[in-house]
Structure 1
Amino acid sequence: MAPPALKESPLPDTPISTVLLVIALHAEAAPLVADLRLTQDSQAVFPEGVPWVKYSGTYEGLNVHIVTPGKDGIHGCDPVGTVPASLLTFNSIQVLKPDLIINCGTAGGFQAKGAAIADVYLISETAFHDRRNSIPGYREYGVGALEATPVPKLISALQLKTGVLTTGDSLDHVPEDVVIMKANDATVKDMEGAAIAYVAHLLSVPLIMLKGVTDIVDSPAATDEEFLANLSLTAHAIQRTVSKALQFISGKKLSDLQ
């Protein structure tokens, strides 16, 4: 069994004004950028030399920023994984000072938990599955379970599915990962979420996570092929869900989501 998740502190009674969306892939962000009519911000808010990209604008009275890791300067691909996501989230919180973070993006889903392609889940809890450490006292740290910011009214209004997100730095998984993912009671699996949750918890910023299913983890299909085949479909499903979430959040305080 996974160790008990650390709980978030009660939400402050603060009006939501600035929302930061952290997204790992350009292909995941593009439908939202277009739908929310955001524009790429050339203002230098990030450290010199990083490839990070920021899109900004207003939507439903909210100041909205989307940040992505951009493109890796050596390999030319999207810098996926926990390290780029952690750095981007930490710096974005420092410079943009959001009232709320929404981490949205694609994930693998577990058929055994009822997940299907293009389902969108609001994450109830995060944990890691590839930080194995048998030293006494470090096992729980390795799993790093965290409860998400509770938003039952948002879940009810949008009729969202919920589930636990498990995170690792590999697209595929090894048998040891499967054991821990089952112990985590995971419904969806990604490569960034638990790291973003760690940063948000560290800096005490409320966090909502919306994950859309591109591939089925517990199926014989090749993960990379399923992911590429369903990326566009799921990215647009995420876009529709995030737009509805922002509409619901507009004009509310953080405590109004509980």
Structure 2
Amino acid sequence: MTTLPPAAVLAALRSGTPIPTEEPRLPWIERLGCGTPAYRLTVPASAPCRTLLFFHAGGFTSCSTADHLDLCARLADAAGAEVVSVDYRLAPEHPFPAAVEDALSVYRYLLDGGCLPAQLVPVGISAGGTLVLSMLLAGRSLGLPMPAAAVLLSPAVDLLFQGESMIFNQETDWLTPDRLEAMRDDYLAGHDPSDPLASPLYADVGGLPPLFVQAGGGEVLIDGIRAFVETARLEGVPVTFDCVEGVFHFWQVFAGVLPEAAEAIERAGVFVQRCVPEGE
């Protein structure tokens, strides 16, 4: 495996230089029969007792399952689970709350198809992490059963983008305030960014399942993530906060070249296995 220091990957992200990776491990893939495009991915380590419901990154405006196959395979390996990845509708063609509706529809599809809530763990990275929280909040309001736990990798929990890290971490992240604001404007299309369904930092999160929140100390979003973790704990939600100093937003995707990313995915997998033990 080729390894690079975080600074080299950050520089490549900023410049648009291709980042060398090992050959992606291609899992077995099956398209599900639900209305929203969703795909079941399995690896040899996948156990039938665990399902990860995965939501990709892309600022609500880009990307798909195809862009996250290596991450899905690594999560499946680490958690010993199958992965169901959702290609939710994207803005600006489909603004908020279209992606939330799609997430909820696949969650319901899995439950209706016999997947037990105790065997299900939603996982999302970046905008996908936000979408996990939005889905759980919407599901709670509808009286749907909560899953065993949820994993949030660098979620954007505050679309107002407040916090000093938005200023002081610009040297350690590739995200910029201008890029974030453009994404928000496309996604919300004039909707109030403080709506709790769009910005979970402002939600009442009582009753949500145990959360694993992972973020980089160098992210511009880290202040909002820290505030969310503190608020969730005050409201009685069990939260495991895994903050990795010296890394930037979305670093988990580069597990093929960053040992820090591979280790981070392993810790997320340990959390899932603890919340959904064998035989559940």
Pick the TM interval, shorter chain.
0.3 to 0.5
TM-score (norm: length of structure 2): 0.35
Structure in which a larger fraction of residues adopt helix? 2
TM-score (norm: length of structure 1): 0.37
Structure in which a larger fraction of residues adopt strand? 1
